[in-house]
Amino acid sequence: MGPLAQAVAPSHMPIVLRPLLPELILVGTALALMLLDALRPTPDQRPFVLLSLAGVAGAAAATLSLWTWKGPGSVLGGMIAADRFAVYFRLVILAAAALGILLSSYYLDRAGEARGEYYPLLLFATAGMTLITAASDLILIFLALEILSLSLYLLTGFSFRRLASAEASMKYFLLGAFSSAFFLYGIAFAYGATGTTNLAGIATALASRVNGDALALIAVGLLAVGFSFKIAAVPFHMWTPDAYQGAPTCVTAFMSAGTKVAAFGAFLRVFGVAFLPLAHDWRAFMGVLAAISIIVGSVLAIAQTDIKRLLAYSSIAQAGFILVGLSAGTQAGIQSAMFYLAVYAGTVLGAFAVVAIASVRGEEHTALSSYAGLARRRPLLGLALTAFLLSLAGIPPMAGFIAKVSVFSAAVQAGSWPLVLIAVLASVAAAFFYIRVIVLMYMQDPAPEIEGVRIESDPAGWAAVLAPAFLTVVFGILPGLLFGLLRTASVVRF
List contacts with another protein (CB under 8 A): 1-10, 15, 31, 34-35, 37-39, 41-45, 109, 112-115, 139, 142-143, 146, 150, 153-154, 157, 160, 163-164, 166-171, 173-174, 177-178, 181-182, 184-185, 187-189, 191-192, 195-197, 211, 213-215, 218, 238, 241-242, 245-246
Give least dist CB 409 to another protein, A. 37
Amino acid residing at 434? Y
Nearer to another protein, 174 or 284 (CB): 174
Cα separation, 156 vs 168, whole angstroms: 7
Question: 185 or 285, CB closer to another protein?
Answer: 185
Contacts of 252 (CB under 8 A, 6+ apart): 243, 244, 245, 308, 352
One-letter identity of residue 213: D
* 8 Å CB contact between 132 and 262: yes
- Smallest distance, Å, CB 151 to another protein? 9
C-beta of 237: minimal distance to another protein in Å?
Answer: 12
Residue 306: phi and psi, rounded to 5, are -120, 130
Nearer to another protein, 47 or 474 (CB): 47
CA atoms within 13 A on the CB side of 31: 6
Shortest distance in whole angstroms from residue 33 CB to another protein: 10
Nearer to another protein (CB atom), residue 44 or residue 456: 44
Give 32 or 491: the residue with its C-beta nearer to another protein. Answer: 32
Q: Is the dihedral of CA 276, 281, 282, 288 positive or negative?
A: positive
* Residue 198 bridge partners (DSSP): 137
Question: Smallest distance from the beta carbon of 336 to another protein, in angstroms?
Answer: 34
> Which pairing describes strands 74-75 and 80-81: parallel, antiparallel, or unpaired?
antiparallel
Q: Taking phi first (over 0 means left), then psi (-120 to 50 degrees means alpha), and beta for anything else, what does residue 209 get?
A: beta
Closest CA to 167 of 105, 108, 243: 243
Q: Based on CB atoms, which residue is closest to another protein, 245 or 335?
A: 245
Q: For the range 478-487, what are the long-range contacts, defined as Cβ-Cβ under 8 Å and sequence gap of 24 or more?
A: 479/339, 479/399, 479/402, 479/406, 482/339, 482/342, 483/335, 483/339, 485/84, 485/88, 486/88, 486/335, 486/338, 486/339, 487/335
Alpha-carbon torsion 347, 350, 356, 358, what sign?
negative
Residue with Cβ nearer another protein (72 or 77): 77
Nearer residue to another protein within complex by CB, 13 or 64: 13
